[in-house]
């Protein structure tokens, strides 16, 4: 079997340093019976009594991590420079998001695989520019994009990680290349904040930076809103609910209903807690129940924005009934933290969360044994394995497909259609409709909201043009074929 460079995640990683047996707090490590050195001593970075770091670094620097990324070469040995770079970045972050550093490690592993395959020395920078490792990797990524084997977003991420890696090496004087790894240039770009105020920002770019082709067709079936999303038409929404009811998975049904009726992202829905739906409401009240989410609420939102979920009263009541059901209580009984108000609302049969909140992921767990982060994989797998196949077979829709994030676009379009109907009836202005949709969807930029407002008209316009043009071509060719 061919071996190649890769990234692995360590379930638990605690930084230590080698010391001697006389050091206070020294821990003896016994090695297997190989060679003459069969034991050594190490000490932990933080003093257990005072909490101070023993290497005189700031006390806020962490030394214990879960899901710690490590880059290995093709022989399975750690790539020293890459891992020291990662350690430096992680230590320098007050609240390190390990998924971010895992992504960087992925990119460095991809670079290492390229180096191993082409037998290029990554520290040699000859005079001929195109023979330097950075330019060679840049060319390799461009070919991957051109052949359709790699998305430009992935190539951009890989190249950015390599540039940052070399920049750190040069700044720390760990590498002094004979020739420059790239040609840099500085420029100013015009930006605007959420209130529309414009400002300039200086940026540095290189001749090996990969630019994304953010071309968007306003006439296709998708909306760009934190990803390329497809609003489900009314019939597809009915298919979806029908399939979820038939599959008899209460959690998945409720999770989808929240997505379709609030437009919430998956990380928000899956980090809702028991306390958020603990209050009893009047069963005859079919109004709204407002639930604050974001910082300070134990729920995650994109970019840590403070938002409010507007749950229909009937859905809140169903969630309340579910939370107090025997099914949910059994799951909480198996969960870490047990049956408390701070427990996740949705758990697996084994009591595991479907999504680990940002705050919880920062808490070191010495007993952690998983090599992956919980980010809603179970929901996505359920959609792929159960929901889509059932809809395709039951409703004779072989091309039907969707992703969970499409429930957000579906909510947005249902909301927009309702507001535009009120505009047509003269009840509200188009500006009021736009602001309402913008607030409910939590859009920072009104340009994103406009994509929903324009979606129906753009789609209808493209459809009418195609129909007329098809008819025109039919008439031109009529009578020329027997």
Lowest mean pLDDT among 205-219, 231-245, 308-322, 394-408: 205-219
Q: According to the model, what pLDDT value does residue 345 have?
A: 96
Same domain, 134 and 19: yes
Domain termination residue (choose one: 164, 181, 198): 181
Same domain, 419 and 391: no
- pLDDT (mean) for 37-65: 82
Spatial separation of the C-alpha atoms in residues 115 and 110, rounded to whole Å? 9
Structural domain harbouring 149: 6-181
User: Could you give the number of structural domains in the chain?
Assistant: 3
On the question of pLDDT at 223 being above 70, the answer is yes
Domain termination residue (choose one: 401, 420, 454): 401
On the question of pLDDT at 465 being above 70, the answer is no
Question: Which residue is listed with tokens 């001697």?
Answer: 20
Spatial separation of the C-alpha atoms in residues 171 and 181, rounded to whole Å? 13
Asked if residue 272 is part of any domain, the answer here is yes
Q: According to the model, what pLDDT value does residue 61 have?
A: 86
- Backbone angle region of 62, left / alpha / beta, with phi > 0 → left and psi within -120 to 50 → alpha: beta
Spatial separation of the C-alpha atoms in residues 243 and 394, rounded to whole Å? 9
Q: According to the model, what pLDDT value does residue 285 have?
A: 60
Confidence of residue 62 (pLDDT cuts 50, 70, 90): confident
Asked if residue 193 is part of any domain, the answer here is no
Same domain, 305 and 453: no
Asked if residue 187 is part of any domain, the answer here is no
Return the percentage of the chain with pLDDT > 90, whole number.
57
Same domain, 271 and 396: yes
Q: Which helix (H) or strand (E) holds 284?
A: none
Asked if residue 201 is part of any domain, the answer here is no
Asked if residue 448 is part of any domain, the answer here is yes
Confidence of residue 397 (pLDDT cuts 50, 70, 90): very high
Spatial separation of the C-alpha atoms in residues 79 and 433, rounded to whole Å? 55
Q: What are residue 142's DSSP bridge partners?
A: none
- pLDDT (mean) for 144-150: 94
pLDDT tens per residue across span 294-337: 999 999 999 899 999 999 999 999 999 999 999 999 999 999 88
Asked if residue 122 is part of any domain, the answer here is yes
Domain termination residue (choose one: 181, 212, 241): 181
Same domain, 421 and 450: yes
Residue 251 neighbours by CB distance under 10 Å: 21
Q: According to the model, what pLDDT value does residue 480 have?
A: 53
Same domain, 145 and 282: no
Spatial separation of the C-alpha atoms in residues 49 and 43, rounded to whole Å? 13
Spatial separation of the C-alpha atoms in residues 87 and 91, rounded to whole Å? 6
On the question of pLDDT at 461 being above 50, the answer is no
Q: According to the model, what pLDDT value does residue 321 have?
A: 94
- pLDDT (mean) for 432-436: 89
Residue from 214, 234, 217 nearest 455 by CA: 217
The Cα-based distances of 313 to 169, 250, 263, 289, 411 in angstroms read 57, 18, 16, 6, 17
Same domain, 19 and 79: yes
Same domain, 259 and 354: yes
Alpha carbons within 13 A on the beta-carbon side of 329: 5
Q: According to the model, what pLDDT value does residue 57 have?
A: 83
Spatial separation of the C-alpha atoms in residues 393 and 471, rounded to whole Å? 34
More confident residue, 166 or 444: 166
More confident residue, 454 or 167: 167
Asked if residue 206 is part of any domain, the answer here is no
Same domain, 425 and 469: yes
More confident residue, 456 or 402: 402
- pLDDT (mean) for 223-228: 77
Same domain, 67 and 168: yes
Residue 26, classified by CB atoms within 10 Å of its CB into exposed (0-12), middle (13-18) or buried (19+), is middle
More confident residue, 212 or 133: 133
pLDDT tens per residue across span 325-380: 999 999 999 998 888 899 999 999 999 999 999 988 888 888 888 888 899 999 99
Asked if residue 344 is part of any domain, the answer here is yes
Same domain, 324 and 372: yes
> Could you tell me if 235 and 179 are in contact, meaning their C-beta atoms sit under 8 angstroms apart?
no
On the question of pLDDT at 469 being above 60, the answer is no
pLDDT tens per residue across span 257-296: 999 999 999 999 999 999 999 887 765 666 889 999 999 9
- pLDDT (mean) for 109-131: 95
What is the DSSP pairing of strand 39-44 with strand 27-30? antiparallel
On the question of pLDDT at 187 being above 80, the answer is no
Alpha carbons within 13 A on the beta-carbon side of 247: 23
Helical packing angle, 98-118 and 152-171, nearest 10°: 90
Beta strands in 47-197 (DSSP E): 64-72, 184-192
Same domain, 16 and 156: yes
On the question of pLDDT at 130 being above 70, the answer is yes
Question: In the predicted model, what is the mean pLDDT of the chain?
Answer: 87
Main-chain phi, psi angles of 379, to 5 degrees = -65, -45
Start-to-end Cα distance in the chain: 60
């Amino acid at each position: 079997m061919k071996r190649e460079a890769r990234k692995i995640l360590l379930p638990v990683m605690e930084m230590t340093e080698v010391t001697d047996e006389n050091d206070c707090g020294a821990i003896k490590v016994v090695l297997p019976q190989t060679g003459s050195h069969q034991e050594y001593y190490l000490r932990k970075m933080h003093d257990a009594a005072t909490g101070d770091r023993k290497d005189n670094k700031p006390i806020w620097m962490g030394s214990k991590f879960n899901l710690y990324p490590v880059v290995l070469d093709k022989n399975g040995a750690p790539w020293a420079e890459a891992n020291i770079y990662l350690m430096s970045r992680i230590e320098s972050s007050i609240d390190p998001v390990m998924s971010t550093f895992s992504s960087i490690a992925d990119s460095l592993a991809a670079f290492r695989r390229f180096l191993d395959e082409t037998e290029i020395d990554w520290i040699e920078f000859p005079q001929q520019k195109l023979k330097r490792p950075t330019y060679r990797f840049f060319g390799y990524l461009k070919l991957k994009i051109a052949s359709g084997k790699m998305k430009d977003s992935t190539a951009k991420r890989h190249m950015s990680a390599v540039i940052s890696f070399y920049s750190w090496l040069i700044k720390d004087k760990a590498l002094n290349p004979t020739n420059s790894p790239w040609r840099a240039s500085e420029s100013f770009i015009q930006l605007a904040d959420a209130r529309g105020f414009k400002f300039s920002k200086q940026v540095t770019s290189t001749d090996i930076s990969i630019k994304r082709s953010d071309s968007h067709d306003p006439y296709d079936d998708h909306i760009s809103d934190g990803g390329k999303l497809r609003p489900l038409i009314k019939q597809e929404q009915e298919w979806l609910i029908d399939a979820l009811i038939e599959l008899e998975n209460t959690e998945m049904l409720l999770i989808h209903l929240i997505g379709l009726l609030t437009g919430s992202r998956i990380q928000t829905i899956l980090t809702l807690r028991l306390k958020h739906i603990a209050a009893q409401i009047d069963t005859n009240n079919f109004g709204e129940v407002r639930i604050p989410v974001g910082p300070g609420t134990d729920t995650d939102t994109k970019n840590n924005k403070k938002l409010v979920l507007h749950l229909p009263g009937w859905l809140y009541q169903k969630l309340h009934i579910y939370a107090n059901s025997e099914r949910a209580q059994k799951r909480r009984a198996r969960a870490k933290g047990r049956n408390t108000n701070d427990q996740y609302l949705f758990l697996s049969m084994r009591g595991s969360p479907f999504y680990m909140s940002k705050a919880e992921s920062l808490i070191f767990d010495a007993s952690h044994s998983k090599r992956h982060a919980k980010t809603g994989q179970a929901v996505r797998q359920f959609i792929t394995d159960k929901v889509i196949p059932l809809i395709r077979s039951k409703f004779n829709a072989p091309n039907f497909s969707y992703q969970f994030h499409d429930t957000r676009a579906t909510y947005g379009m249902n909301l927009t259609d309702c507001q535009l109907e009120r505009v047509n009836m003269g009840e509200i202005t188009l500006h009021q409709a736009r602001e309402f949709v913008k607030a409910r969807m939590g859009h920072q930029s009104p340009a994103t909201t406009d994509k929903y407002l324009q979606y129906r008209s753009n789609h209808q316009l493209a459809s009418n043009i195609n129909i007329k043009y098809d008819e025109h071509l039919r008439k031109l060719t009529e009578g020329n074929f027997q």
